[in-house]
C-alpha cells in the first residue's frame, strides 16, 4: 500500500515512546498505534522531527518502523527519512519500504536558499531514494529556514511524480494553500494531498482553504479527526467550536522546542505513554509548566470530556 495524492484525514506525527531510562518503549508504541487506528486516523507518520529521529540509531529506527507497520497493516505509515546525506536517506528508505512503509517524508536541509537549490535538492533526493518511492514534501520554514514559494512547490511536483503530498506548515500559510489549489484548478499543477502541520494552529481555516487534513502531533489527535470530519461535512461552526475549545492548549503545545515535553506529558496522562521521557538533548518541563498544562486541561474538560484526566 503506497501513499498517493488522494491521502486525506489525519496522519498524526507520532512521538517515539521511551521508558524512564531512555530505552525504546515497545509496549507504548503498540498502545499509541492502536489508539491512532481506533480514533479514526487515516495514516501515521513516524520518525519525524518531533519523533526524536536524530536520537535513534539506524537499527532502532528500522525496528520502530517495522513494529508500527506490522501493527496497523491497513493504515499507510509514512517514515521520516530526512538525513544530512543521501546515503543515509537511501539506506533508511530502502529498509522501511521493504518493511511495508507507504512512503517517506523529506525535510530540506537548512542551508538551501535559492529556488534552484531547493528544486535541485529534491530532484537528487528523489533519485537517491528511487523514483518508485512516494514522498512527502515538508515545508516548514520556521524550523528549517527554507522558504518555498508556491511556484517552487509546483516545480517540484511537476518534475517529480513521486512527490504525492505536501506537509504544509508554512507560517503564515493560508494563502499558500489557496494558491496551490488555484494552480490545480488552472491546470498548471497536478493534484497533491495537502495535510497541515505547524502544530495544527490554523487547521480550522486551513480545511476551509482546501487542505485535505492534518499531519501534526497535537496530543488530542482524536480532536483533529473530529475537526477534519466536521469541516469536510460542512458543519463549520461545530468544527470551529471544537477547535477553539482546544486552541489554548494547542497553542501551548506548539511552542518550538518546549512543545514535545507538553505533548508527551499529556499523552502520558491520557494513558497512552508509560513515560514522558525524551532522549537527550531534551528541554525539561518545569513544575510550573506542568501545572499550567493541568490548568489548561481542566479548563478544556468543561468543553471536551476527553480532557478529564484526573
> CA 78 to CA 164: how far, in whole Å?
12
Taking alpha carbons only, the member of 269, 184, 242, 253 closest to residue 217 is: 253
Q: Among positive and negative, which fits the CA dihedral 211, 139, 41, 101?
A: positive
Positions in 3-42 near a second copy (CB under 8 A): none
Question: With respect to a second copy, which residue has the nearer C-beta, 69 or 174?
Answer: 174
Q: Could you say which of 204, 212, 222, 226 contacts a second copy (CB under 8 A)?
A: 204
Q: Could you say which of 1, 39, 88, 99 contacts a second copy (CB under 8 A)?
A: 88
Nine cell digits for residue 296 = 489548561
- Contact between 286 and a second copy by CB under 8 A: the answer reads yes
> CA 201 to CA 204: how far, in whole Å?
8
- Contact between 114 and a second copy by CB under 8 A: the answer reads yes
Nine cell digits for residue 43 = 495514516
Q: Among positive and negative, which fits the CA dihedral 209, 212, 217, 218?
A: positive
Question: With respect to a second copy, which residue has the nearer C-beta, 106 or 152?
Answer: 152
| Residue that the C-alpha cell 522558504 belongs to | 147
142 by Cβ neighbours in 10 Å (0-12 / 13-18 / 19+) ranks as exposed
Q: Could you say which of 21, 288, 305, 310 contacts a second copy (CB under 8 A)?
A: 288
- Contact between 58 and a second copy by CB under 8 A: the answer reads yes
- Contact between 292 and a second copy by CB under 8 A: the answer reads yes
Segment interacting with a second copy (CB under 8 A) among 40-48, 182-190, 220-228, 244-252: 244-252
Neighbours of 294 (CB within 10 A): 14
> CA 277 to CA 20: how far, in whole Å?
6
Binding characters for a second copy, 222-241, by CB under 8 A (x = yes): ---------------x--x-
Binding characters for a second copy, 116-155, by CB under 8 A (x = yes): xx--xx--x--xx-----------------xxxx-xx---
Question: With respect to a second copy, which residue has the nearer C-beta, 6 or 124?
Answer: 124
How many residues sit in the footprint of a second copy (CB under 8 A)? 65
> CA 3 to CA 81: how far, in whole Å?
15
> CA 117 to CA 139: how far, in whole Å?
14
Binding site for a second copy (CB under 8 A): 53-58, 60, 83-88, 90-91, 110-111, 113-117, 120-121, 124, 127-128, 146-149, 151-152, 171-172, 174-175, 178, 201-202, 204-205, 208-209, 237, 240, 243-244, 247-248, 251-252, 255-259, 279-281, 286, 288-289, 292, 299
Amino acid at each position: 500500500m503506497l501513499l498517493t495524492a488522494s491521502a486525506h484525514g489525519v496522519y498524526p506525527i507520532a512521538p517515539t515512546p521511551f521508558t524512564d531510562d531512555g530505552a525504546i518503549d515497545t509496549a507504548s508504541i503498540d498502545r499509541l498505534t492502536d489508539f491512532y487506528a481506533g480514533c479514526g486516523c487515516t495514516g501515521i507518520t513516524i520518525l519525524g522531527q518531533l519523533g526524536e529521529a536524530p536520537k535513534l540509531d539506524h537499527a532502532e529506527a528500522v525496528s520502530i518502523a517495522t513494529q508500527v507497520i506490522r501493527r496497523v497493516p491497513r493504515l499507510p505509515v509514512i517514515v521520516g527519512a530526512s538525513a544530512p546525506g543521501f546515503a543515509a536517506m537511501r539506506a533508511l528508505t530502502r529498509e522501511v519500504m521493504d518493511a511495508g512503509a507507504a512512503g517517506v517524508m523529506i525535510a530540506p536541509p537548512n542551508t538551501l536558499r535559492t529556488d534552484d537549490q531547493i528544486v535541485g535538492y529534491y530532484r537528487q533526493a528523489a533519485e537517491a531514494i528511487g523514483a518508485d518511492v512516494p514522498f512527502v514534501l515538508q515545508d516548514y520554514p520556521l524550523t528549517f529556514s527554507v522558504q518555498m514559494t508556491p511556484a517552487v512547490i509546483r516545480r517540484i511536483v511537476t518534475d517529480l511524480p513521486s512527490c504525492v503530498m505536501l506537509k504544509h506548515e508554512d507560517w503564515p500559510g493560508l494563502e499558500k494553500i489557496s494558491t496551490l489549489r488555484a494552480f490545480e484548478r488552472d491546470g498548471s499543477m497536478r493534484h497533491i494531498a495537502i495535510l497541515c502541520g505547524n502544530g495544527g494552529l490554523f487547521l480550522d481555516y486551513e480545511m476551509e482553504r482546501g487542505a485535505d487534513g492534518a499531519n501534526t502531533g497535537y496530543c488530542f489527535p482524536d480532536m483533529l479527526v473530529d475537526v477534519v470530519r466536521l469541516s469536510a461535512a460542512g458543519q463549520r461552526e461545530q468544527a470551529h467550536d471544537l477547535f477553539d475549545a482546544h486552541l489554548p492548549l494547542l497553542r501551548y503545545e506548539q511552542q518550538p522546542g518546549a512543545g514535545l515535553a507538553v505533548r508527551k506529558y499529556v499523552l502520558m496522562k491520557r494513558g497512552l505513554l508509560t513515560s514522558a521521557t525524551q532522549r537527550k538533548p531534551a528541554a525539561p518541563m518545569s513544575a510550573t509548566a506542568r501545572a499550567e498544562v493541568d490548568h489548561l486541561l481542566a479548563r478544556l474538560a468543561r468543553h471536551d470530556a476527553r480532557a478529564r484526566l484526573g
